[in-house]
Amino acid sequence: MFTNKKEIILTINQIIFSSLDIREVYETMSKELLKVIDFDRMSVTLITEDNNLYETFVLSKDYAYTELKEGVQYPMEGSLMKRVVQFRQPVIVEDTSKGRFLTDSVLYKEGIHSRLGYPLEHKGRVIGSVNFGSKRKDYYSRKHIAFFSQIAPQLAMAIENTRLFNGIKEAEEKYRTVIENSPDIIFECTKDGEFLLMSPSVEKITGYPANQFYENRGYGLSLCHKEDQERVQREILQILNGRNNSLMDIEFRVIHKQGHVVWLSLEMLPMKQNNDIVGIEGFCRDITERKKLDELKDNLVRDVTHELKTPVAKIEMAIDMFERSIALGDKVSLGRGSQIHEILRNNVNRLKNSIKNILDISKLESGVEPLKLSDISITDIVKQIVCEQKDAASAKNNVLTHQLPSGIPIVKADRDMIYHLTNHLVNNAIKFTEHGKIIISARALPDAVEVTVEDTGRGLDEKTRERVFEKFYKETPSAFGSGIGLAICKNIVQKHKGRIWVESEGKGKGSQFKFTLPMIADTKQKVTTNPK
């Protein structure tokens, strides 16, 4: 039976080191082993990390049916495995019918009558065992143990290598998945500007695919905004020269392939090899949205400051003017006096208005104040506004009229708010129209009333149309007003569950501001008695 034993041991050892795939090792090995050891079943069981369980690593498929399944974990307690581990010695079971170990009865039922468990040791630690099973009773002996002792160390090493390899492969897989799916740019770059790693997200952020970075040295820096290039280069050099060992965080701009600016935040560390700095590694996050918000906030603070400070400044200057007049002649002339009076009056009004707007939007947004709903007539409100604003409109040579068909339904709404909303739209129309026409109209939709304020004035381009209802949005920084008015309008309409939007053919082509107020079921039937 033990013919060419040495040759077989050699072959098996070769097999063990020929592959990192343990199944492949196992299958070839079991074929070879069969030549020298008679077994009906062979398995490798490995102890889990917590030492309380063991896992069947591979099983021979000689048996069509077995309860011991690959990959399943079994308790150590009461097993042959426990004994092998405890005594670091091979264990032979002559007769499984005696039920010495928990697994014996299972194996007995499956026709295995004797067993041999051989410990697998690696670096002085038992990591598991190789197990043989035979249909014959009292089959395994010292001879088998002596033979197997020459293969076991290599097999243990092969298994550890495989485990290590699989661990690395798994970690690498994880690492790759993280890099490939990261929304941030992860990179490694040598001292010479050669990219060793560039995650695919770079394409989404900059418009340029990763391979362009791999193929071109220093490609990253060339995408940098001109004004930021020098600063970024300086910071990178600091790291490469070892003057900064900690994580460095800088913000800079790159130009997207399509020409627009993208803001990035870059965090980087020196990449080291044997204590020498060989490059940098780090990641870049797209912070354009945050930067836009910052800018919006800065502009907002600036605009509100300007809006509040300007009238105060002028009031102060008017007072100074008044005091100087007094000092000069003791008596303020009639003309000068009325001029000062007018400036004071205008600016107090402007200030009052700004403060009111700011308070209004805060109140609306906080939702503190409930709607004071009542049955209101859009027709009446429109007529009132046309009457009140006629003079203001004609002061800019505009004709202000209304178009109100009969039968505009009554709606349930907060009258003050709807008045404010409509009035603001008319005010705006007058502000941006000269020598033109402004028409307020209303019409009944199946479940809502739609109001339109149409003018022949300045009009809006697409960008402005999209943003005009944003809080503090202004077409130009100097545009008059706080930029809150339309945000308030939008808020009022939303509170009434309606819709507000603007239509315009473009710059210089007039605009139509429209809003709807939905009818509540029980008020649907009521119509204004006197629409004209």
Partner 1 sequence: MKELLIVEDDLEMQEFYKDMLEGEPFTVTLVPNAEEGQKKIKEKIYNLVILDILMDGVTGDRFFALLRRDSRYKEVPVIMASALDEKTYRCFQALGNVSFLEKPFNKERLLSEISMRFGSKK
Contacts to partner 1 by CB under 8 A: 302, 305-306, 309-310, 312-314, 316-318, 320-321, 324, 339, 343, 346-347, 476-480
User: Closest CB to partner 1 among 196 and 313?
Assistant: 313
d(CA 119, CA 37): 17
Amino acid found at 494: Q
Q: Shortest Cβ distance from residue 474 to partner 1 (Å)?
A: 10
Name the residue nearer to partner 1 (CB basis): 39 or 252.
252
Q: Quote helix, strand, coil % in the chain, to nearest 5.
A: 45, 25, 30
Q: Report the greatest alpha carbon distance in the chain.
A: 135
Rounded least distance, CB 345 to partner 1, Å: 11
In angstroms, give the least distance from the CB of 486 to partner 1: 18
Beta carbon of residue 230, minimum distance to partner 1 (angstroms, whole number): 15
Is the CB of residue 378 less than 8 Å from the CB of residue 418? yes
Q: Name the residue nearer to partner 1 (CB basis): 73 or 305.
A: 305
Comparison of 199 and 511: residue with beta carbon closer to partner 1: 511
Nearer to partner 1, 97 or 305 (CB): 305
C-alpha distances out from residue 245 to 6, 28, 187, 213, 237, Å: 57, 52, 18, 25, 12
Based on CB atoms, which residue is closest to partner 1, 314 or 524?
314
CB nearer to partner 1: pick between 112 and 430 = 430
Displacement of CA 2 from its chain's centroid (Å): 66
What is the closest distance, in whole angstroms, from the C-beta atom of residue 333 to partner 1 in the complex?
A: 12
Torsions phi, psi for 528 (to 5 deg): -65, 140
The rounded distance, in Å, linking the Cα atoms of 504 and 454 is 10
Residue 523 DSSP symbol: G
Q: How far is the CB of 338 from partner 1 (least distance, A)?
A: 12
CB 477 within 8 A of CB 299: yes
**Residues facing 448 on adjacent strands:** 518
State the minimum distance, in angstroms, from the CB of residue 484 to partner 1: 17
Torsion, Cα 326 331 332 335, to 10 degrees, reads: -160
CB of 331 to partner 1, least distance (A): 16
Residue 321 CB, shortest distance to partner 1, in Å, is: 6
Closer Cβ to partner 1, 168 or 301, answer by number: 301
For strands 437-444 and 399-403, give the pairing. Answer: parallel
Q: What is the DSSP letter of 97?
A: G
Strand 91-93: give its sheet, edge to edge.
Answer: 73-75, 53-59, 41-47, 125-134, 114-122, 91-93
Nearer to partner 1, 324 or 352 (CB): 324
Angle at 162 between CA 158 and CA 167, to 5 degrees: 150
Question: Beta strands 248-255 and 185-190: pairing type?
Answer: unpaired
